[in-house]
Amino acid sequence: MVETVHAPSQGTFGRILREPRALFGGLFILFLIFCALSAPLIAPHDPLEQDLLLEKIPPVWQAGSDPAYLLGTDGLGRDLLSRLIHAARISLIVAFVAGILACLLGTTLGLLAGFYGRWVDTLISRLVDIWMSFPPVLLSILLVAVLGSGLHSVIVAIVVIDWTRFCRVVRTETLAQTKLEYVDSAVTLGMPRMRILFREILPNVFPVILVLLSLEMGIAVIVEAILSFVGLSVSTDTPTWGGMIAEGRQVIYQAWWVLVFPLAALFLTVLAFNQLGDGLRNALDPALRR
């Protein structure tokens, strides 16, 4: 027999590392996680300490700056850099907790709809259709208004709105996988249905889920910022990027940096999540389609 096993291709992890976008996104998010975890240690000032004598100090490279305040201070004299670092905590908590919960809910329903079909599919798919016809931002504001503001409500609102993203894609992908012969093979081995769904099909849907999760985390960061901006997220004594943007808006003509830095942090974070998602898609997809 001349045939042999082909040399094993480089591992999944290796492929992700070779994907520049996944690498950039991943490293930036690791950096953010580091900032969030060690915020009290690395932040040069107390993010809440006000000093009205030091208000609206520009960043260090501008005239009239103070080297103690690298990115300047806001309208109440609070250190912008410290506030940015502390605000990363809320954004990341929301991104991971809300993202993962939405993923679990949507994926489970999507798997069931795609695999069992018939009335299960009809029921879940119609629910998704109805759900998606609500304007998401208004729905989230409404939800938080009803639940009361706070971190929990923000997370609940994001999960309740965004599970449909996972559900729809996972359903389609599961449907496609269910038609492949390996599922028939598993059925003809007399394997229990639940085992087929979770042990045979789920691993093949997993790359898609991972990509979606990464994109969803970026969306969660934005939604949290929107809710903070309109004052429906955590209380104002916890710094958030959305809240900082709202404050910056009021002093935009006197101190542009109060608005621009949190905006840039938000922008870069969402970009990083999206790039990670796209990079993962490229790194994981060929392995499936080969």
Partner 1 sequence: MRRPLLDIEGLSARTADGQAVLLDVSLLMGPGEVHGLVGQSGAGKTSIAKAVLGILPRAITLNEGSIRFDGTELIGAPAATLDKLLGTDIALIPQDPMTALNPSRRIGAQLTDSLRLKAGLSKSAAMERARKLLEEVHLTDTRRILRAYPHELSGGMRQRVLIASAFALNPRLIIADEPTSALDVTVQKQILRLIRRLQREHETAVLFVTHDLGVVAQICDDVTVLFSGAVVEQTTVHHLFRHPRHVYTRALIASNPRYDQPGASLRPISDEVIADTLQSLDAKGAS
Copy the structure tokens of residue 156: 């609940």
For residues 47 and 83, the answer to whether their CB atoms sit within 8 Å is yes
Closer residue to partner 1, CB minimum distance, 63 or 189: 189
Q: DSSP letters of 247-260?
A: HHHHTTTT-THHHH
- Which of 40, 135, 192, 231 binds partner 1 (CB under 8 A)? It is 192
Q: Residue 131 CA to chain centroid, in angstroms?
A: 20
What are the strands, taking DSSP E only, across 106-181?
none
Binding residues among 166-185 for partner 1 as defined by CB under 8 A:
180-182, 184-185
Question: Does residue 119 interact with partner 1 by CB under 8 A?
Answer: no
- Which of 146, 190, 237, 253 binds partner 1 (CB under 8 A)? It is 190
- Which of 191, 230, 263, 271 binds partner 1 (CB under 8 A)? It is 191
- Which of 13, 52, 119, 188 binds partner 1 (CB under 8 A)? It is 188
Window contacting partner 1 (CB under 8 A); options: 65-73, 151-159, 167-175, 189-197: 189-197
Closer residue to partner 1, CB minimum distance, 3 or 237: 3
- Which of 204, 238, 274, 282 binds partner 1 (CB under 8 A)? It is 204
Window contacting partner 1 (CB under 8 A); options: 1-9, 70-78, 86-94, 153-161: 1-9
- Which of 123, 145, 187, 268 binds partner 1 (CB under 8 A)? It is 187
Question: Does residue 9 interact with partner 1 by CB under 8 A?
Answer: yes
d(CA 79, CA 91) in angstroms, rounded, equals 19
Query: ∠ CA(118), CA(167), CA(242), 5° rounding?
Result: 160
Question: Does residue 10 interact with partner 1 by CB under 8 A?
Answer: no
Question: Does residue 123 interact with partner 1 by CB under 8 A?
Answer: no
Write down the least CB distance from residue 85 to partner 1, Å. 40
Would you tell me which residues interact with partner 1 (CB under 8 A)? 1, 3-6, 8-9, 117-118, 180-182, 184-192, 200, 203-204, 206, 287-288, 290
